């Protein structure tokens, strides 16, 4: 087989993320390209979560609507994912749950309970009936008593039942791979990456015991795909953190908020154990986070902060302050479902206009959006370099989907970029003293001396100011300062390479425009859509000059928000009408199957101006 999607579902805190990581690392060790998608509830424990691992012989950038192999570690997974396994696929489940009925699943949403009641024509269908529906849909159910297996193996190894049951995630992965005919050795290597000491010994012994058991033959198998030396397995949040380190980050602030926290926590761990020369500070709130990062930048440190929508709201005044005093600052914004608290652990691209316009007044900012894990690594370096080159705020957009999606990448792809991000320093003079921090320049960028430089000083205020920083309300000076600051946008658009602004992956009469994490899905969708082109936008402000590329095309935007914000931005900046807006806003990412179906409808003339995608559980 050329590809497979494996899903594991269970309660939050039940070890399913460890299971997915083990499965992904094992098959990656076996030569497969992998990507992992994580869907989890915003509470700490108990509510339903699941992860998909998609593997392929070629790089993976999208996920499928239906899976090939589902591991149900509890009854809720069995009930909730009915219809999510393709005909001919496999369901591995614990037979103990068959004694339950739908209403005995305390965490199952009422809407799902009602939908199952309607489907089976009774108020409280049993999970035996749900299982039968899987079988009738062409899915092969395989009972597997996970806890009984743990107890039996524990007894063989002389390990107490409670300790043995802590290996249920390893048992689930080992059973899945054994059923698929995949060799044991890559799993043992993956376990060595996950655990240490006695815990590693126990989990490897458990995996070996599972592989000694006889299992039925499945209609499909998973074999080794050849060696792939020098690969890394990273989430988008981890890639952004490493990109910042590669770009020379010296100071990062944050206040904990989903899903942005993962980046800073990873930075903390990397700093503590790998000796990176970076200070990471958890502040009392987001206002302190942004202002502390500005202060660090003014002393000459490459500084950043990371947050999500609600935190970015609190940072708006601080960002305006950075814009006024021309401080180089990177804000990594992880979008999630809004408004307000919204969907804290679900994905969205609803903050585009907020990133472009958030805050009162006008000041230059650059907005850069990453499309995949590798982009997150490279763009984090660019964001830091641009912040220093143009002495302004750079908003680096990611989202929850990218933050928690992991991909296997060749190590050589994670390269340190040679970027011109050096600050323009004021030449040292005899005696030094006050200098014109906001002196005239054709490109809008003035000389800068970091705070603390011996002998050099200037005035700094959040008010409008003259060339040395003194407060002024003089209309001529106001016009000059506004025009000088805003000139940076024209300079940036002229200097930033076109490949960093956008990529035309393929031209076509129907031209799809996208930004952020629709990239992988749309690139793979092109394989199924002859005649369709794709223009991927990376630099969203200043907006690239793409108008000529749109001439005479039927334009389609695809994005994760309600209104189609990219479509509005394209129409505003190019005066070209977007004919179709494909949107999704239920917090789940657009799948490959959804994208292909929607774009085929556009090509067939069967789509209106707005198509809403509704897949996902």
Q: Which residue bears the tokens 């524990």?
A: 154
Give pLDDT tens digits for 48-60.
Answer: 999 999 999 999 9
Task: Give dist(CA 350, CA 585) in Å, integer.
Answer: 9
Q: Looking at residue 317, what is its pLDDT?
A: 97
- The three-class DSSP label of residue 323 is helix
Domain 3-211 and domain 501-612 have a common topology: no
* Nearest CA among 360, 317, 352 for reference residue 333: 352
Q: Which two tokens stand for residue 28?
A: 């990656």
Mean predicted lDDT score pLDDT of the chain: 95
Give pLDDT tens digits for 355-386.
Answer: 999 999 999 999 999 999 999 999 999 999 99
Q: Looking at residue 276, what is its pLDDT?
A: 74
CA R_g for the chain: 27
Q: What is the DSSP string of 83-109?
A: T-EEEEEEEEE-GGGGG-BGGG-TTS-
Residue percentage of the chain with pLDDT more than 90 = 90
Q: Looking at residue 305, what is its pLDDT?
A: 98
Architecture of domain 3-211: 3-Layer(aba) Sandwich (3.40)
Q: Which two tokens stand for residue 270?
A: 């990397």
- Over the range 532-566, which residues count as b (16 or more CB within 10 Å of their CB) and which as e? bbbbbbbbbbbbbebeebbeebbbbbbbbbeebbb
Q: What fold characterizes domain 234-413?
A: Rossmann fold (3.40.50)
**Torsion on CA atoms 72, 73, 75, 81, rounded to nearest 10:** -30
Peptide bond into 414 cis (omega under 30): no
Whether the pLDDT of residue 272 is over 70: the answer is no
Task: Give dist(CA 394, CA 330) in Å, integer.
Answer: 5
- The three-class DSSP label of residue 19 is helix
Residue percentage of the chain with pLDDT more than 70 = 98
Class of domain 501-612: alpha beta
Contact assessment for residue 225 and residue 362, using Cβ atoms and an 8 Å cutoff: no
Domain ranges of the chain: 3-211, 234-413, 433-495, 501-612
* pLDDT band at 431; cut points 50, 70, 90: low
Task: Give dist(CA 64, CA 409) in Å, integer.
Answer: 20
Q: Where are the alpha helices (DSSP H) in 363-474?
A: 373-390, 400-404
- The three-class DSSP label of residue 506 is strand
* pLDDT band at 1; cut points 50, 70, 90: confident
Which is it for strands 539-541 and 365-369: parallel, antiparallel or unpaired? antiparallel
Segment (H or E) for 572: helix 565-574
Higher pLDDT, residue 45 or 580: 580
Give pLDDT tens digits for 227-236.
Answer: 777 899 999 9
Contact assessment for residue 486 and residue 326, using Cβ atoms and an 8 Å cutoff: no
Give pLDDT tens digits for 384-430.
Answer: 999 999 999 999 999 999 999 999 999 999 999 998 777 677 666 66
Q: Looking at residue 13, what is its pLDDT?
A: 85
How many CA atoms, within 13 angstroms, populate the side-chain half-sphere of residue 579?
17
Q: Looking at residue 187, what is its pLDDT?
A: 97
Q: Which two tokens stand for residue 586?
A: 């239920």
Q: Which two tokens stand for residue 403?
A: 């933050």
Q: Looking at residue 89, what is its pLDDT?
A: 98
Give pLDDT tens digits for 480-509.
Answer: 999 999 999 999 999 999 999 999 999 999
């Amino acid at each position: 087989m050329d590809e497979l999607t494996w899903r594991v579902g269970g309660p939050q805190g039940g070890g399913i993320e460890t299971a997915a990581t083990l499965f992904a690392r094992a098959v990656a060790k076996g030569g497969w390209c992998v990507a992992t998608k994580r869907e989890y509830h915003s509470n700490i424990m108990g509510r339903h979560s699941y992860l998909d691992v998609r593997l392929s012989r070629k790089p993976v950038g999208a996920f499928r609507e239906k899976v090939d192999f589902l591991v149900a570690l509890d009854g809720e997974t069995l009930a909730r994912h009915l219809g999510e396994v393709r005909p001919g696929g496999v369901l591995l489940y614990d037979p103990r749950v068959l004694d339950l009925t739908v209403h005995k699943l305390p965490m199952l949403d009422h809407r799902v309970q009602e939908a199952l009641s309607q489907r089976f024509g009774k108020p409280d269908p049993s999970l035996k009936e749900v299982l039968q529906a899987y079988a009738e849909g062409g899915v092969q159910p395989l009972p597997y008593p996970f806890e009984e297996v743990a107890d039996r193996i524990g007894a063989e190894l002389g390990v107490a039942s409670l300790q043995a049951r802590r290996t249920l995630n390893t048992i689930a992965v080992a059973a899945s791979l054994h059923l698929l005919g995949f060799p044991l050795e890559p799993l043992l290597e993956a376990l060595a990456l996950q655990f240490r000491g006695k815990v590693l010994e126990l989990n490897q012994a458990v995996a070996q015991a599972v592989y000694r058991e006889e299992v039925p033959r499945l209609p499909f198998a998973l074999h080794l795909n050849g060696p792939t030396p020098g690969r890394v397995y990273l989430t988008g949040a981890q890639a952004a953190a490493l990109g910042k380190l590669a770009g020379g980050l010296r100071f990062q602030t944050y206040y904990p908020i989903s899903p942005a926290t993962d980046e800073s926590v990873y930075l903390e761990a990397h700093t503590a154990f790998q000796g990176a020369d970076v200070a990471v500070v958890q502040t009392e709130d987001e206002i302190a986070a942004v202002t502390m990062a500005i202060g660090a930048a003014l002393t000459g440190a490459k500084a950043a902060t990371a947050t999500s929508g609600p935190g970015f709201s609190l940072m708006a005044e601080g960002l305006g302050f950075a814009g006024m005093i021309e401080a180089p600052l990177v804000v990594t914004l992880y979008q999630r479902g809004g408004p307000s608290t919204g969907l804290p652990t679900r994905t969205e691209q609803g903050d585009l206009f907020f990133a472009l316009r958030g805050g009162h007044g006008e000041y230059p900012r650059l907005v850069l959006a990453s499309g995949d894990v590798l982009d997150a690594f490279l763009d984090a370096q660019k964001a830091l370099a641009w912040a220093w080159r143009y002495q302004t705020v750079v908003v680096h957009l990611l989202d929850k989907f990218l933050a928690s999606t992991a991909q296997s990448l060749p190590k050589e792809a994670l390269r340190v970029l040679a970027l011109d991000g050096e600050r323009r320093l004021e030449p040292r003079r005899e005696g030094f003293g006050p200098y014109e921090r906001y002196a005239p320049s054709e490109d809008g960028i003035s000389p800068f001396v970091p705070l603390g430089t011996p002998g050099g000083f200037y005035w700094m205020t959040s008010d409008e100011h003259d060339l040395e920083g003194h407060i002024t309300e003089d209309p001529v000076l106001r016009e000059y300062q506004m025009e000088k600051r805003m000139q940076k946008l024209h300079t940036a658009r002229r200097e930033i390479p076109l490949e960093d602004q956008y990529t035309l992956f393929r031209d076509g009469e129907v031209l799809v425009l996208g930004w952020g994490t629709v990239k992988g899905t749309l690139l793979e969708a092109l394989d199924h859509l002859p005649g369709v082109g794709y223009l991927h936008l990376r630099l969203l402000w200043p907006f690239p000059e793409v108008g000529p590329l749109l001439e005479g095309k039927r334009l389609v935007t695809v994005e994760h928000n309600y209104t189609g914000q990219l479509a509005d931005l394209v129409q505003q900046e190019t005066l070209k009408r977007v004919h179709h807006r494909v949107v999704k806003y239920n917090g789940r990412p657009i799948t490959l199957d959804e994208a292909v179906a929607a774009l085929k409808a556009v090509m067939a003339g069967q789509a209106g101006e707005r198509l809403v995608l509704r897949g996902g559980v």
